[in-house]
């Protein structure tokens, strides 16, 4: 399926545990698993799933993240669900009226990376589709995570919440961007993508400037000698801002050469066109 390489190891190393509290729909569990797989989360714990477990609808909507669902564990108390965990993040959009630190998903991502790197086991609580987490459940967490959302429309479904938290966790670990394909590796990072080429060297760029200046001279582009230096500076700055590749410089020189050849072609004498004579 698009964007998935099933030949690679799907478990990318220690990561936060996603805890779904009393999830009501198998479809939401499946889409949450897909969001987990996007960002290197691989352990799911289910606390009191309403429709029981396993759930065929979850598998059908996981888009291939079946290994997460196959390993998911089911628990009937939240205390049992959080067994072996050192630190717990509770996701919620509503104010709770309790004394507990509140952080953003971005802050949670950095905190989780630090804790996992120190060998801690951390878990993220995601609440019910309709009512979220209860205050009693949040009281078992160490910190509240609340996203900067539209306060008049703050509800986020489970898969969206898992995606948001997973992204913030994984973005500090990722070494590439996007998808790897059989033809091309994943992008190495933000910036100008230059497949099959490289940035032009200054020698190549200056060679192009000289070539262009000579041909513009021949074509009479520079109307007066005193204006030529300023016009060439503008031209160099124009192409300098473009951060040309080696291939682009060669293409530009080819364009200039083609225009020059076309300009130098002798014109047919008048009276030789068809019909004259």
At residue 29, does pLDDT exceed 70? yes
Q: Report which of 87, 86, 50, 46 is spatially closest to residue 70, judged by C-alpha positions.
A: 46
Instruction: Identify whether 6 is part of a domain.
Output: no
At residue 109, does pLDDT exceed 70? yes
Query: How many structural domains is the chain composed of?
Result: 2
Given 170, 189, 216, which residue is the final one in a domain? 170
Output the pLDDT for position 99.
87
At residue 33, does pLDDT exceed 80? yes
More confident residue, 200 or 95: 200
Question: Angle between the 202-219 and 228-241 helix axes, to the nearest 10 degrees?
Answer: 140
Mean pLDDT of 38-50: 95
| Domain CATH for 247 | 1.10.8
Residue 46 shares a structural domain with residue 106: yes
pTM over 0.85? The answer is no
Q: What CA–CA distance (Å, rounded) separates 178 from 65?
A: 17
At residue 273, does pLDDT exceed 60? no
Q: Report which of 158, 155, 133 is spatially closest to residue 143, judged by C-alpha positions.
A: 133
At residue 10, does pLDDT exceed 80? no
CA separation, residue 163 to residues 157, 197, 267 (Å) = 10, 35, 67
Instruction: Identify whether 94 is part of a domain.
Output: yes
Instruction: Identify whether 277 is part of a domain.
Output: no
Tokens of 224: 């007066």
| Domain CATH for 145 | 3.40.1280.10
Cα angle: 47, vertex 134, 107; to 5 degrees: 85
At residue 66, does pLDDT exceed 60? yes
Residue 162 shares a structural domain with residue 208: no
At residue 8, does pLDDT exceed 60? no
Cis status, amide bond into 109, omega within 30 of 0: no
Residue 71 shares a structural domain with residue 163: yes
Output the pLDDT for position 235.
95
Q: The domain containing residue 124 runs over which residues?
A: 17-170
Residue 110 shares a structural domain with residue 209: no
């Amino acid at each position: 399926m698009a964007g998935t390489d099933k030949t690679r190891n799907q478990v990318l190393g220690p990561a936060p545990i996603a805890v779904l509290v009393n999830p009501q729909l198998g479809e939401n569990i499946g889409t949450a698993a897909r969001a987990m797989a996007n960002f290197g989360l691989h352990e799911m714990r289910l606390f009191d799933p309403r429709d029981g477990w396993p759930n065929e609808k979850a598998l059908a909507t996981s888009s291939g993240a079946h290994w997460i669902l196959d390993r998911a564990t089911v628990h009937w108390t939240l205390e049992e669900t959080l067994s072996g965990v050192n630190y717990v993040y509770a996701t919620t959009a509503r104010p709770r009226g309790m004394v507990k630190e509140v952080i953003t998903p971005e802050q949670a991502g950095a905190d989780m990376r630090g804790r996992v790197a120190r060998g801690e086991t951390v878990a993220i609580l995601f609440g019910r589709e309709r009512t979220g987490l209860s205050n009693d459940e949040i009281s078992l967490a160490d910190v509240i995570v609340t996203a900067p959302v539209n306060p008049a429309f703050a509800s986020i479904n489970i898969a969206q919440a898992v995606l948001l938290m997973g992204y913030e966790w994984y973005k500090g670990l990722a070494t590439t961007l996007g998808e790897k394909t059989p033809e091309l590796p994943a992008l190495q990072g933000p910036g100008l993508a230059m497949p099959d080429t490289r940035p032009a060297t200054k020698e190549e760029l200056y060679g192009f400037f000289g070539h262009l200046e000579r041909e513009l001279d021949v074509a009479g582009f520079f109307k007066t000698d005193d204006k030529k230096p300023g016009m060439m500076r503008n031209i160099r700055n124009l192409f300098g801002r473009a951060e040309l590749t080696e291939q682009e410089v060669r293409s530009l020189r080819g364009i200039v050469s083609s225009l020059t050849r076309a300009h130098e072609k002798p014109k047919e004498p008048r009276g030789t066109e068809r019909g004259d004579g």
